Structure 1
Amino acid sequence: MAIEASGNSQLIQAVTLLGAAVIMVPLFRRLGLGSVLGYLVAGLVVGPFGLGWFTEPEAILHIAELGVVMFLFVVGLEMRPSHLWDLRREIFGLGTLQIVTCAIALTAAGMLMGWPFKVAFIGALGFVLTSTAIVMQLLSERGDLARANGQRIVSILLLEDLMIVPLLAMVAWMSPAHANAATSHRGLSILIGILALLALIAAGRWLLNPLFRILAGSKAREVLTAGALLVVLGAALLMQAGGLSMAMGAFVAGVLLAESSFRHQLEADIEPFRGILLGLFFLGVGMALDVSVVRADWAIIVTGVLALMATKGLCIYVVARVLRSGHGEAIDRASLMAQGGEFAFVLYAAASAAGVISAQANARLTTMVVLSMALTPLVTLLVRRFVPACKAQALASVNRAVGLSGSVLMIGFGRFGQVVSQPLLVRDVDVTIIDTDVEMIQAASDFGFKIYYGDGTRLDVLQAAGADEAKIIAICVDRCEVANEIVDLCKVQFPQATLIVRAYDREHAWHLAGEGITRHVRETFESALRFGTMTLRELGLTPTQAREIAKEVRRRDADRFAYELAGGDWVTGAVMSFSKRPHPTPLTAPRRESQALNQAAEVAARSKN
C-alpha cells in the first residue's frame, strides 16, 4: 500500500527511509558486502516494486543527486589545481581511449544481441558513463581515493561527467523531429556551457575566499555552514543552467577552494549533508529497479546486463594493460567501472523523448543500468577476494624483502617507526626496514628511505629480510595483535636477536612482560610525560624541578607496573580493582605531592595508558 502524500505521511516516509538504511547498511557491512549494496537493497525493499511504500523514486533521486554533488565537492577540495593539471594525461588520454573503445565494443555487443543500431548505439553511450557515486563510495570505503590507481579512476570519471553534454547534443542531432533545428541549438548550448564554466572559475578565483573571510569574521558557525552549502549548490545550479552536470560544477568549486585556508572547515561542514544525501541517492536507485520489466523480459535483461558488463570490463582491462598498468590494477579498475551510471538515466530519457529509441527500449536499458549498479559491489568484492593479482596490485613498483641482512631489522615504518629509525640512521646503523603499506613505501622512497615490502608475520619473509643474522628486531607495528604474533614467531625462530617492541597500551605492555619481553615502550607514555613536563615549565617551575618530577612519575609508574605484574592482577589480561591494592614502597616526596602522584598513577593504570 502506497503512503499518501500529506504532512504526516512525509514524516512517515522519512522515518521509513532512515529505518531501512539503519537496518540494512550495518547488516551488509557486517556481512562484508559494503554499504552501497545495503542502500540499494533497502531501496528495493521499500520502493514501488517491493513493499510499495514509495511510488515515485524519481522524486527522491532528484533530491538525492545533491549527495553526489556534495561528494564531488569534497573530492575537489582534496585536489589542488596543480595536481589536477598533473592528471591531464589520465583525464584526456586514458579517459578518452577508454570511452571510445568501450563505446565501439558495447555498440557491437548490442547489435550481436539483435538490437537495432540506434538502440545499441544509445545503450552503449549510456553504459559507458560509469556511476560516479558508486565508484567514489567504494574507493572511499577502501581508502583508495588518494592512491595512484584511485586517482586514475577519478580522472576517467571526470571526463565521463563532461561527456554528458556532447552525448545529449548527439541525441538531439539523431532525433528525426529536431534534425533541422539541431545545429543552431547545439552551438548555442555549447556556448552557454563554456560561459557558465568561465563564470564559475572567475567567481572561485576572486569571490569565494573574500566571502568566507567575511563569514568567518561573523563568528557564527551556522553562517559558515550556510555559506558552504551556498557555494556547493550555487555552483551546481550554475553548471546545470549551462547544460553541464551539477556534479562537475561542485567539483570545480572544490578544486578552486582546495588551496584555501577554509578548506578543512568547509569539508567538515559539508560532510554530514554529503553522507545522508548520498545514502538517499543509493536508496533511490534501488527503488528505481523495475521488477515488472525484469519479470517480463528477464532473458533479454539478464543477457544484456551480463554481456554489457563483461564487454565493458574487458575493454577497460585491455586499455589499462595497453597503457602499462599492472595486471592487478587493470582487473580492479575493470571490476569497479564495468557498470553503467546515473547519467545513463538522463541520456535514455532524452533519447526516448526525442524518438530515437522506444519507451520499451528505454525501460529495458534503464533496468540494465540499475542492475549493473547493484551488482558492482558484489563483483568488486568477489574479484578482490578470489583474484590473487588484485591482492598484490601495485607491488611491482616496490622492492621486496629478499636476500637482506642488517644488524637491526625494523618491522613497521608508520609514525612510530619513522621516529625510531632516525637516531639509528644518524649513527649509520645497518637497518633493514620492512612494511606492508605500499603507498607509504612509495612515499618514503621519495624522501630517500629504502623500505622493503614484507609481511612480518611470515617466517619466510623474516628470514629473507635477514632476521637470522639480526642482533635486534624492532617491532614497531601499530596493531597489538600483529605485534604479538611477530613476537611469538621471533622468540622461537630467532633466539639470537633481542626483541624491542612497541606496546600499544598498559595492558599490551603487561602481556609482553608476561611473554618475557623486557624491552618494550608504551607508545604514548613518554610523549605524554614530556608534555606534562613542558606544562610545568610554563607554570614557572625550573627545568631541574620539572625533570625531577618527571623522573619521580616515571619511577612510580615502573614500581606500580612491576607490582601489578608480580601481583598477577593483569597477567590474565583482565581489569582488576585497584581499591584493594596497597601503594608501592613509601616515597620520599612531600605528602601532598605523594598523594597526587599516587592518584595520577592509579588513573593512568585504570585507563591502560
Structure 2
Amino acid sequence: MEDLRLHDAVVFLAAAGLVIPFAKRLKISPVLGFMLIGLAVGPYGLARFAEQYIWLRHLLITDVSGVRALAELGVVFLLFMIGLEVSIERLWRMRYLVFGLGSTQIIVTGIIIGGIAWAFGNSVEASVILGSCLALSSTAIVVQLLIEHSRFGSTVGHGSFAVLLAQDLAVVPILFVVSTFGAHVSDSLIWPISLAFGEAFIAVLIILVIGRLLIRPLFRFVGIADSPELFMAVTLLTIIATAVATYTVGLSAALGAFLAGLLLAETEFRHEIEINIEPFKGLLLGLFFMSVAMGINLSEILAEPVWIFLSVIGLFVIKSLVTTGLARMYGFSWAQATEMGLLLGQGGEFAFVVVGMALSLDILPESTAQFMLIVVGVTMFLTPLIARLAHSVGAKIEARAQSTCAQEEIIPHLANHVIIVGYGRTGQLLAALCEQQKIEHIALDLDATRVAELRAQGAPVYLGDASRIAMLQKMGLSHAAVLAVCTDDPNATEQVLRAARRLSPKVSIVVRVHDSAHASSLLNQGATEVVPEVLESGLQLGHVMLEEIGLSTNVARDIIDAQRVETMRALLHKNVPGLNQ
C-alpha cells in the first residue's frame, strides 16, 4: 500500500470532497480552497506538529514530488479543454495580441525585474534569468479563474489568454538561455535564441499539419467501433501524445495539449470529448493548486516577512503596471487593461522549472532561488483574491467612463419610448421588434466592445450604467412608455429596478428573469411584469409538442396561453411548482 501511495490518494480525494462544497458555501474560489488545503497537508503545514500529535500523519500527503508530477497533468488537461473552445481561426485572429502584446510584456517586464535584481547585487546571468522567469504568469490559475467567473470569453479573457499563450511559447528560449549560461557560452545569444524560436514554430506547425490529417479519420474509426472505453483511451492518447511531442522539442507539455484541443475542436466529437475529460481536468487541476501551496514554507516567510512582503507587492505592482500600460497601447480600455494587469501580476508555474534548472547549474545561489520560489508561490496563492479585486476595480472604472461618455452622447427629449437595459441577444431582439413597429427606443449596455460594434451598425445603444439615477434621467425614463431590463446578472437587475422606481414610480417595467424565485422578488420590488426564462422555454417546447401530437396551431396556442396565465397567477401567490429548477 505504501508503494502505491494509496494514502496520499485518499487524503487528496477527501480534500477535494471538502473543498468544493465549502468553497461554494463560503462564496470563495475553489482555487483558493485547494491551495489552503495544500498549505495544510503539505510538508510546511500540519507536518510541523506531526511529532507531537501522531494522528496528524494520517492527514498529510507524504510524497510531495510524486504529487507535483501528477499535478502537471491538471494543467495539461486544462489547456486541452481551452483548445476545444478556441478554434484555429480564432487563434489566428489573436496573433496580433499573442506576438505583439504578449512578447512586449515579457521583454519589458523582464528588463525591469532583471534590472532590479542586478541592482541588488546579483550577477548579470542571474538577473537575466530572474527577470525572464518572473515575467511569466500562471496560465493554470488565471485561466481557471476566468472560467469560474465566466470571463474567459470576454475581451479581458481574450487579452489575458493571448499574453499567457505568448509566455508559454517563450519558455523554450528562456530554458535555452539558462542552459547556455550554465555551459558558460560567451558568444552572442541572438542567433541561438532565434534558432530556438524557429524550431519551436516548425514543431508546432508539424503537429498541426499531421494532426489535421490523422485525428478526424482516427476518431471516426473509433466512433464506428461504438466502444466508450476505446473512445476514452484514444482521447487520452491524443492528449498525452501531443503533450509529450511538444515537451520533447523543448516546449511545454500544456502547449501540446492545447494544440490537441485545437485540432479536436474542428471535429464532430468535440462535445463528447469535453464531457469525458471534464472530471479528469477538475480533479487533477485541484491537485496542481494543492501542490503549489505545498511548496510555500511558512517558516521562511516568518524568518524574512518584510522582504517577502515587499517582494510580493513589488512583483504585483511592476507586472500590473507594465501589462496595464501595454494593454492600453494595444487598444484595450482603461477598465479592461487594469483588470488584465492585476490578473497577470503573479509569478507562474514555469518559474519553478526555470529557477530549479538555474539552481542545478550553479547560476543562482540556493538562498536566492528559495526566496524567489516562495515569492512566486505566495503571489499564486493570493491571485484568487486579486482576481476578485481586479474585476471590481475594472467594473468601477468602466462604469464611470461609460457613464460620462453616455451622458455626453445620449439625445434627450424622447417621449413615449422604450428603454432597453442590456443589449445582448434578448435586448437586440426587443430592439428589432421596436424597429418593425416604428417604436422609438434607446438602449444601454456596459460592454464597451459590443456597444462600439453595434453603434457602428447604426444601433441606438449607448455606454452607461442603468443603475444610476442620473443615467436613467438622461435616458428620459420619466417620459418613457416601458423600461425593459434584459441583463443576465440578478444583482444588477435589482439595482436597475430600484433606481428606476425611485425616479419614476409609474413607468411600466418589464424584466427578464431566470426562475420563479427571482421573479417573485422582483415583483415585490416594483416590477410591472416579469418573464421567467424557464417558464417561456418550457411553454415554447410545449407548443411544439402539442403541434407534433396533431393539434392545430390555434388550439395549441390557446392551450399555451391559458397555461401561461395560470402559471403567472400562481407565481404571484408564490406557488409555482417546477419553475425553481
For residues 276 and 416 of structure 1, what CA distance do their matches in structure 2 show?
36
Aligned to 1:23: 18
Cα drift, residue 488 of structure 1: 5.8
Aligned to 1:472: 482
Contact 1:398 1:442 in 2 (8 A): no
For residues 41 and 122 of structure 2, what CA distance do their matches in structure 1 show?
33
Cα drift, residue 346 of structure 1: 1.1
Aligned to 2:420: 410
- Residue 45 of structure 1: which of 40, 46, 55 is its match? 40
Alignment TM-score, normalising by the size of structure 2: 0.85
Contact 1:433 1:451 in 2 (8 A): yes
Q: 1:139 is aligned with what amino acid? A: L
Unaligned segments of structure 2, at least 5 residues: 48-59
Cα drift, residue 284 of structure 1: 0.5
Aligned to 2:345: 338
Structure-2 change in CA distance of 1:299 and 1:205 (3 Å): same
Equivalent positions of 1:67-86 (< 5 A) are 67-86=74-93
Equivalent positions of 1:375-390 (< 5 A) are 375-385=382-392, 390=397
Matched, 1:109 2:110: no
Matched, 1:291 2:291: no
Contact 1:403 1:466 in 2 (8 A): no
Percent identity at matched positions?
A: 31
Contact 1:399 1:451 in 2 (8 A): no
Aligned to 1:587: none
1:563-593 CA distances to partner (integer Å, 9 max, x unpaired)?
Answer: x69xxxx64x4x4xxxxxxxxxxxxxxxxxx
SS in 2 for 1:606: coil
- Residue 431 of structure 2: which of 382, 399, 421 is its match? 421
Aligned to 2:311: 304
Equivalent positions of 1:366-405 (< 5 A) are 366-385=373-392, 390=397, 392=399, 395=402, 402-404=410-412, 405=414
1:405-460 CA distances to partner (integer Å, 9 max, x unpaired)?
Answer: 35222334444444333332112211112234556545655765332234444322
Contact 2:71 2:291 in 1 (8 A): yes
Contact 2:399 2:465 in 1 (8 A): no
- Residue 540 of structure 1: which of 531, 547, 550 is its match? 550
- Residue 357 of structure 1: which of 350, 364, 371 is its match? 364
Contact 2:336 2:394 in 1 (8 A): no
Equivalent positions of 1:69-148 (< 5 A) are 69-148=76-155
Structure-2 change in CA distance of 1:81 and 1:190 (3 Å): closer
For residues 346 and 447 of structure 1, what CA distance do their matches in structure 2 show?
49
- Residue 606 of structure 1: which of 552, 577, 580 is its match? 577
Aligned to 2:444: 434
For residues 42 and 357 of structure 1, what CA distance do their matches in structure 2 show?
31
SS in 2 for 1:434: strand
- Residue 232 of structure 1: which of 239, 245, 248 is its match? 239
Aligned to 1:593: none
Structure-2 change in CA distance of 1:337 and 1:188 (3 Å): closer
1:486-515 CA distances to partner (integer Å, 9 max, x unpaired)?
Answer: 556555643564444556556777777778
Structure-2 change in CA distance of 1:498 and 1:141 (3 Å): closer
Contact 1:408 1:471 in 2 (8 A): yes
Structure-2 change in CA distance of 1:436 and 1:309 (3 Å): closer
1:309-360 CA distances to partner (integer Å, 9 max, x unpaired)?
Answer: 3333333233334444333223222212222111111111111222222333
- Residue 6 of structure 2: which of 1, 6, 11 is its match? 11
CA RMSD of aligned residues (A): 3.6
For residues 207 and 24 of structure 2, what CA distance do their matches in structure 1 show?
39
Contact 2:402 2:465 in 1 (8 A): no
For residues 436 and 476 of structure 1, what CA distance do their matches in structure 2 show?
12
Contact 1:326 1:394 in 2 (8 A): no
1:177-211 CA distances to partner (integer Å, 9 max, x unpaired)?
Answer: 7789x999999977875664344122211000111
Contact 2:347 2:377 in 1 (8 A): yes
Q: Count the aligned residue pairs.
A: 564
Aligned to 2:50: none
For residues 371 and 224 of structure 2, what CA distance do their matches in structure 1 show?
54
Q: 2:86 is aligned with what amino acid? A: M
Structure-2 change in CA distance of 1:229 and 1:534 (3 Å): same
Structure-2 change in CA distance of 1:464 and 1:115 (3 Å): same
Q: 1:83 is aligned with what amino acid? A: R
For residues 412 and 15 of structure 1, what CA distance do their matches in structure 2 show?
47
SS in 1 for 2:313: helix
For residues 371 and 250 of structure 1, what CA distance do their matches in structure 2 show?
27
Larger-Rg structure: 1
Alignment TM-score, normalising by the size of structure 1: 0.81
For residues 223 and 405 of structure 2, what CA distance do their matches in structure 1 show?
45
Aligned to 1:586: none
Structure-2 change in CA distance of 1:538 and 1:163 (3 Å): same
Cα drift, residue 113 of structure 1: 2.8
Contact 1:176 1:355 in 2 (8 A): no
Structure-2 change in CA distance of 1:318 and 1:214 (3 Å): same
Matched, 1:280 2:287: yes
Equivalent positions of 1:314-333 (< 5 A) are 314-333=321-340
Aligned to 2:54: none
Q: 1:426 is aligned with what amino acid? A: Q
Aligned to 1:262: 269
Q: 1:431 is aligned with what amino acid? A: H
Q: 2:476 is aligned with what amino acid? A: G
Structure-2 change in CA distance of 1:393 and 1:102 (3 Å): farther
Contact 1:383 1:390 in 2 (8 A): no
Larger deviation, residues 312-321 vs 424-433: 312-321
For residues 315 and 507 of structure 1, what CA distance do their matches in structure 2 show?
45
For residues 579 and 334 of structure 2, what CA distance do their matches in structure 1 show?
45
Q: 2:133 is aligned with what amino acid? A: G
Larger deviation, residues 39-48 vs 220-229: 220-229
Cα drift, residue 243 of structure 1: 1.8
Larger deviation, residues 39-48 vs 304-313: 304-313
Equivalent positions of 1:192-211 (< 5 A) are 193=200, 196-211=203-218
Contact 1:402 1:461 in 2 (8 A): no
